[in-house]
Chain A
Amino acid sequence: MAKIDLARLSVTEANKLIRKYGAEGENVDVLNPDAKHHIGVGLVHPINVRVHGSAGYFCAGLSDGARFEVENNVGWGLADNMLTGSIVVRGNAGAIAAVAIRGAEVIVHGNIGSRAGQVMKEGTLLCAGNANFMAGYMMYGGRIVILGQSGEKVGQDMTGGTLYVAGKVNSLGTDAKQIDLESDEDDEIREMLERYQIPFNGSFQKIVNAGEKLHYSRNEPRSRSQSFFMASGTSDYWNAKVQTDIDIKAQIGRYRIRGYGATRALPHLADLAFRKDLSQIPADGEVTKKIDLKTEIGARNGAEPIKLSMPVMIAPMSYGALSKSAKLALARASALSGISENTGEGGMMDEQREAADQLIYQCLSGRLGWNIHDMQRANGLEIYISQGAKPGLGGQLMAKKVTEEIARIRGIPAGIDLRSPSRHPDVLGADDLVIKVEEFREATGHRIPVSVKLGAGRVRDDIKIAFKDGFDFVELDGLQGSTGAAGNEVLEYVGIPTLSAIQEAMDALGEVGGVEEMPVVLMGGIKDGLDAAKAIALGAHAVAFGTAAIIAGGCIACLQCHVGQCVVGIATQDPEHEKRYQTNVEAENIHRFLEGVRWQLATIAVAHGYDDIHQLDRNDLVALTPEAAAITGLPYEPGYRDTKPQATRKAS
Chain B
Amino acid sequence: MTTVYSIDRVAMPPAPKQFADDTAELHFVPAPCQVACPIGTDAPSYIAHIWDGEIEKAFEAITATNPFSSICGRVCDAPCEPACRRVDSDGAIAIRNLKRYVMDKLGTSHQLPVKEVTRSETIAIVGGGPAGLTAAHDLAEAGFAVHVYEQSDRLGGMMAWGIPAFRLPQNVIQEDIDRMLDHCPGISVHTNTGLGSGISLDELKKRHDVVLITIGAWIGKTMPLKGSNGSDAIDGVGFLREVNGGARPEMPETVVVVGGGDVAMDACRAALRLPGCKKVKVLYRRGPDEMPARLDELEGAIKEGIEIVYNTQPVAISPAGDGYNLTCIQTELGAPDEDGRRRPVDVAGSEHDIPCGKVILAVGQKAECSELDGHKLMEWDRVHTEWESMRTEDPQVFAAGDGAFGGSTIVMAMQHGHRAAYYINAHLDAVDAPMPYRTPFRTRAVKIADDAQWEVFNRHEQDFHGVGAEPVKFPEIETTYTDEEARKEAARCYRCDAETGSTDYSVRNREDIFVMARTNKNDVKTQQAIFRHRLENRDNPFGENRPADLQDLVFLPANLSRLVIDPYRDACSVNTTFCSSIELEGPFMVTGFDAAPEQVTMALDEGLRQQGAAYLGARQPADGVSWVQFIENTTESASNRADAIVYAVGKEDFAKLDLPEDDRPKGLAVTADTVSEAVPFALENGFHFLLTLANGRMGSAESELSGAPDLTVLRDVMRTMRAMNREEDLDIIYFGGLRTGTDAAKLIGLGANVMVLGTAMGLALGGQIDGATLSYDASLSGEERIDRTKSLLRGLTTEASIMARCTGKTNIHNIEPEDLRSITLMTAEASGIPLAGAVKK
Q: Which residues of A contact B (CB under 8 A)?
A: 138, 157, 174, 221-229, 231-234, 236-238, 241-243, 245-247, 249-255, 260-268, 270-271, 273, 278-279, 281-285, 288, 385-386, 391-394, 419, 421-423, 428-430, 433, 454-455, 457-462, 464-466, 479-480, 487, 489-490, 492-497, 499-501, 503-504, 507, 511, 525, 527-530, 547-548, 551-554, 556-560, 563, 565-569, 577, 580, 582, 585, 589-590, 592-593, 595-600, 603, 624-627, 630-632, 638, 640-642, 645-646, 648-650, 652
A-B contact pairs, 10 of them (CB 8 A): A227-B500, A232-B551, A285-B524, A394-B566, A494-B803, A495-B555, A507-B841, A596-B521, A625-B542, A646-B539
Say whether A422 contacts B566, CB under 8 Å: yes
Contacts of B742 in A (CB 8 A): 489, 492-493
Q: How does the 8 Å CB contact mask read for B511-522 relative to A, with 1 for contact and 0 for none?
A: 011101111111
Q: Which of B249-257, B421-429, B530-538, B574-582 contacts A (4 or more CB under 8 A)?
A: B530-538
Determine whether B501 belongs to the interface, using a CB cutoff of 8 Å to chain A: yes
Closest to B737 in A: A237
Q: How far, in angstroms, from A327 to B566 measured CA to CA in the complex?
A: 28
B540 contacts chain A at the CB level, 8 A cutoff: yes
Q: B328 within 8 Å of A by Cβ?
A: no
The residue from B496, B556, B790 contacting A253, defined by CB atoms under 8 A apart: B790
Q: Which residue of A lies closest to B532 (CB)?
A: A279
Rounded to whole angstroms, the CA-CA distance of A227 and B560 in the bound complex is 36
In the complex, A266→B26 CA distance in Å?
17
B25 touches which of A247, A494, A652 (Cβ 8 Å): A652
- Choice from B531, B536, B546, B565 contacting A600 with Cβ under 8 Å: B531
With A458-B559, A566-B455 already in contact, the answer to whether A237 and B708 are too (CB < 8 A) is yes
Please tell me if B374 contacts chain A, counting CB pairs below 8 Å: no
Inside 8 A of B454's CB, which chain A residues have their CB? Answer: 224, 567
Residues on B with beta carbons closer than 8 Å to the beta carbon of A236? 707
In the complex, the 8 A-B pairs of residues with the closest C-beta atoms, listed nearest first? A500-B837, A265-B541, A222-B452, A392-B806, A461-B561, A253-B791, A250-B764, A392-B557
Cross-chain contact A568 with B89 (CB below 8 angstroms): yes
Min Cβ gap B243→A in Å is 42
- B825-A627 in contact (CB<8A): yes
- B656 part of interface (Cβ distance < 8 Å): no
Nearest A residue to B764 via CB reads A250
B566 touches A552 (CB 8 A): no
Interface residues on B, range: 35 or more
Most buried by B among A430, A479, A625: A625
Are B559 and A507 neighbours in the complex by a CB distance under 8 Å?
A: no
A48-B534 Cα distance, complex, nearest whole Å: 62
User: Chain A: which residue is nearest B790 at the CB level?
Assistant: A253
Cβ-based interface call for B763 (8 A): yes
Q: A223-B452, A458-B556 are in contact. Are A238 and B740 (CB under 8 A)?
A: no
- Minimum CB–CB distance for B373 against chain A, Å: 46
- Cβ A494 vs Cβ B505 within 8 A: no
Among B502, B504, B838, point to the contact of A631 (Cβ < 8 A): B838
Q: Shortest beta-carbon distance, B561 to chain A, in Å?
A: 4
Q: Complex formed: what's the CA distance from A369 to B530 in Å?
A: 40
Q: Is the CB of A457 within 8 A of B558?
A: yes
Known: A577-B455, A642-B537. A489 touches B741 (CB 8 A): yes
Interface residues of B in 230-285 (CB under 8 A from A): none
Q: A residues within 8 A CB of B536?
A: 642, 645-646
Residues of chain B in range 341-370 having any CB-CB distance to chain A below 8 Å: none
A173 to B503, CA, bound (A): 43
Report the Cα distance A603→B452, complex, angstroms: 44
Chain B minimum-CB-distance residue to A273: B537
Asked if A596 contacts B527 (CB within 8 A), the reply is yes
Partner of B455, one of A392, A563, A585: A563
Residues 670-721 (chain B) with a chain A CB within 8 angstroms: 704-705, 707-708
A225 engages B500 (CB within 8 Å): yes
Q: Are A229 and B559 CB-contacts (below 8 A) given A224-B450, A627-B824, A650-B24?
A: no
In the complex, chain B residues 77-92 whose Cβ is within 8 Å of any chain A Cβ: 85-86, 88-90
Would B505 and A260 count as touching, CB distance under 8 A? yes
Whether B505 and A551, one on each chain, are in contact in the complex, defined by CB atoms closer than 8 angstroms, is yes
Q: A593, B513: Cβ atoms under 8 Å?
A: yes
In the complex the two chains form, is B823's CB within 8 Å of A497's CB?
A: yes
A648 touching B14, Cβ below 8 Å: yes
**What 1/0 flags go to B802-841 for Cβ under 8 Å of A?**
1101111000000000000101110000000001111111
B445, closest chain A residue (CB): A227
Stretch at the interface among B152-160, B330-338, B792-800: B792-800
Q: Which of B539, B541, B559, B704 touches A385 (beta carbons < 8 Å)? A: B559
Residue of B nearest to A631 (CB): B837
Cβ–Cβ < 8 Å partners of A224 in chain B? 448-452, 454
How far is B454's CA from A394's CA once the two chains are assembled, in angstroms? 30
A495 to B739 Cα, complex, angstroms = 20
Do A593 and B707 touch (CB < 8 A)? no
Closest partner residue, chain B, to A156 (CB atom): B569
Contacts of B741 in A (CB 8 A): 255, 489
Task: Say whether B806 contacts A649, CB under 8 Å.
Answer: no
Q: Are B521 and A266 in contact (CB under 8 A)?
A: no
Which A residues are CB-close (under 8 A) to B740? Answer: 245, 489
Instruction: Please provide the chain B residues from 368 to 392 with a CB less than 8 Å away from any CB of chain A in the complex.
Output: none
Q: Quick check: B505 and A557 within 8 Å, CB to CB?
A: yes
Chain A residue contacts of B484, Cβ below 8 A: none
Instruction: Name which residue of chain B comes closest to A234, CB basis.
Output: B543
Partner of B803, one of A480, A489, A525: A489
Chain A residue nearest to B529 (CB atoms) is A283
CA gap between A237 and B506 in the complex, in Å: 22
- On whether the beta carbons of A392 and B517 are closer than 8 Å, the reply is no
Which B residues lie within 8 Å of A247 (CB)?
A: 763-764
When C-beta atoms are compared, the residue in chain B nearest to A226 turns out to be B448
Q: A246-B764, A649-B25 are in contact. Are A504 and B524 (CB under 8 A)?
A: no
Question: A392, B805: Cβ atoms under 8 Å?
Answer: yes
Question: Are B807 and A392 within 8 A (Cβ)?
Answer: yes
Complex Cα–Cα for A18 and B790 (A): 61
Contacting pair A392 B769 (CB below 8 A): no
Given A247-B764, A630-B825, A255-B542 contact (CB < 8 Å)? no
A378 to B737 CA separation, bound complex (whole angstroms): 51
Query: How long is the Cα–Cα vector from A616 to B759 in the complex, in angstroms?
Result: 51
Contacts of A254 in B (CB 8 A): 794-795, 798
Once the chains bind, are A466 and B795 in contact (CB under 8 Å)? Answer: no
By beta carbon, the residue of chain A nearest B765 is A250
Query: Is there a chain A Cβ closer than 8 Å to B223's Cβ?
Result: no
| B517 touching A493, Cβ below 8 Å | no
Alpha-carbon distance between A626 and B543 when the two chains are bound, in angstroms: 10
- A580 and B89 contacting across the interface, CB-CB below 8 Å: yes
* Residue among B14, B563, B791 making CB contact with A251, cutoff 8 Å: B791
Q: Tell me the B758-806 residues at the A interface (CB within 8 Å).
A: 759-760, 763-765, 769, 788-792, 794-796, 798-799, 802-803, 805-806
Given contacts A260-B505, A422-B566, A501-B837, contact A249 B521 (CB under 8 A): no
B502, A627: Cβ atoms closer than 8 Å: no
Question: What are the residues of chain A within 8 A of B567 when measuring CB–CB?
Answer: 392-393, 422
